[in-house]
Structure 1
Amino acid sequence: MCPSSVIVTGSTGSAVLRYLLEVLPTDLTLNIFVRNEDKLLKAFPGLLSTKLPTIKIVQGNPSDQEALLRALENAAVIFQCIATNASKPGVSVAYDTVCSVTDALDVLQSGQKEKYRTPFIVQVRAAPLNPTFAAQEPWLMSTFIHFALYHTYADTDRACKYLASMHDKTPALLDYAFVDTFAVFDAEGTTRTGHELTLTGPLPHAISYADVGAGFCEIAERREEFKGKGVGVRATGKVKATPGANMYYLAVGIKGRLLG
């Protein structure tokens, strides 16, 4: 694993953190960037008593550059998990976060000069935004999902394209891979049932957050293999379906398309 990782939390970030705390690579140090430290410690009550030599919690918002600079300094891997399932007109959560992260990295690179080390960003995306995986979807389902989640997908797509453009402009600033899944279930679950990575598909339509978190970490471990690519994470075990939240977000998205 990597000597230093930054996790931007949420359901996916929590799954990444839970996996790392279970595996506990010996050379791992963690910077955890969160909006609410108390909420984090409530969800992970044993966090500060782990055997890791260094855990730093940085509380702030993505627009807080000072906080981001403290979190990102000397990071080898950045698990960037901030996006939104609420597909509403004008949403810009993923894009704004990526812009803030790259701006902070630019400041660090300018200040550290030759001591700056290029971090690898594991960036959340979605399988329908990967042309390979999207082409394998039935047309009717693909059309419906894109209609319902149009604003979320537009935000995420813009964020990922911006991240790629910043790498193309200044390759030493960052490396990246995109993490692609379809529907993710069981946000409160902690049991992994198995996953595997794929560049070609096919991807099943369901996976648990716990297995997505493990997939993020495997992509980080194999980053030389996956630089600049969209990597699918597919379940190999039985997924616990929790459709309520997913149906809610589909309803929100449809309302946003029809009513604005």
Structure 2
Amino acid sequence: MPTYAILGVTGSTGSSLLRYLHERPEKVNINLYARSASKVESLHPYVKTAKNIQSFVGDLSSAELLKDCLRNVDVIFSAVAQNNNEPGCSIARRTAHSIVSALEALRKEEGLSFKCPVLVFLSSASLNPTFAGATPWLLHWVLERGCYYVYGDLKESIEYLKEQSWIPLITAEPPALTQDISRGYELSLHEVMPGISYDDLARGMVQMAEEDGGHKWVGKGVGIKATGNVKINFLPLIWYLVVGLIAYFSPAAWGVLQRAGLNP
């Protein structure tokens, strides 16, 4: 069986990836990387008994542990992400650098026998000019500022990963994400719909990695387009953007909102 690594398995995207891979008939070995074993087990109790799942618990800065997690894997799903528009956020950059460092160490250890896994890295449709071009200008203006620090972090991480030409990279670029059931999706290089469920994002990311051995999508920014009627709860999204705009125009206000428990 092939082996897939999931980084950030306790987040919404990582959790959806794990559930989908665990429940579908086509089984794979799964290496999980997370900071909290108890949180993994509370969200996914089957992890304790599943013979095809191995857990690696620690911070992404733990180079040796991450290297062990990525050893001999065929695909890496990086679902480590930050939604809140926190000034100075760097989680995507730190994750990208940790992945590259671990893979470089493995390449040095294994020499000519090293085969680099396909890396499916979670990004955003808003960073793709093709997808963003269909967004009304006012909404695009709001998104650029309400997600300014998050997008900046993602941009730098993707640019860094693209510099590593030896790593087969696919960037998964969903639109707004929502907690909904799977409504159907298709992969696209041309357009996305306003929203997609985490479950369909997970299915799309797996398809990216598996279709033609991943070769079909390597080097591309791939959108996940909903084909069904996705249900979006707009109130949390609006509040998220309001807080993000406050952080953009007044970075010092971020800490005040955080201490007040008003961050989404």
Instruction: Give the TM-score, by structure 2 length.
Output: 0.89
Q: What whole-Å deviation, never above 9, does each CA across 1:220-258 have from its counterpart, x for those lacking one? A: 112110000000001112222233443332122111111
Q: Which has the higher contact order (CA 8 A, sep 6+)?
A: 1
**Structure 2 residue aligned with 1:17:** 18
What does 1:154-193 align with in structure 2 at a 5 Å threshold? Answer: 154-167=152-165, 171=166, 174-186=167-179, 189=180, 191-193=181-183
| Contact 2:31–2:69 under 8 Å retained in 1 | yes
Counterpart residue identity of residue 184, structure 1: L
Q: Aligned Cα RMSD in Å? A: 1.4
Separation in 1, partners of 2:36, 2:190: 38
| Contact 1:185–1:243 under 8 Å retained in 2 | no
Separation in 2, partners of 1:42, 1:14: 11
Counterpart residue identity of residue 13, structure 2: T
Separation in 2, partners of 1:145, 1:209: 20
Describe the shift of the 1:235–1:29 C-alpha distance in structure 2 as closer, same or farther (beyond 3 A). same
**Structure 2 residue aligned with 1:39:** 39
Separation in 1, partners of 2:107, 2:185: 35
Separation in 1, partners of 2:229, 2:74: 33
What is the aligned-residue identity percentage? 32
**Structure 2 residue aligned with 1:105:** 103
Superposed displacement of residue 200, structure 1: 1.0
Superposed displacement of residue 62, structure 1: 1.1
Q: Which runs of 5+ in 1 are unaligned?
A: none
| Partner SS state of residue 215, structure 2 | helix
Runs of 4 or more, structure 1, over 4 Å off, are none
Superposed displacement of residue 141, structure 1: 1.2
Separation in 2, partners of 1:259, 1:40: 36
**Structure 1 residue aligned with 2:231:** 240
Q: What whole-Å deviation, never above 9, does each CA across 1:173-204 have from its counterpart, x for those lacking one? A: x2111111111011xx5x32211100111x11
**Structure 1 residue aligned with 2:259:** none
**Structure 2 residue aligned with 1:119:** 117
Instruction: Give the TM-score, by structure 1 length.
Output: 0.91
Separation in 1, partners of 2:20, 2:113: 30
Q: Which runs of 5+ in 2 are unaligned?
A: 252-264
Counterpart residue identity of residue 180, structure 1: E
**Structure 2 residue aligned with 1:89:** 87
**Structure 2 residue aligned with 1:7:** 6
Q: Tell me how many residue pairs correspond in the alignment.
A: 247
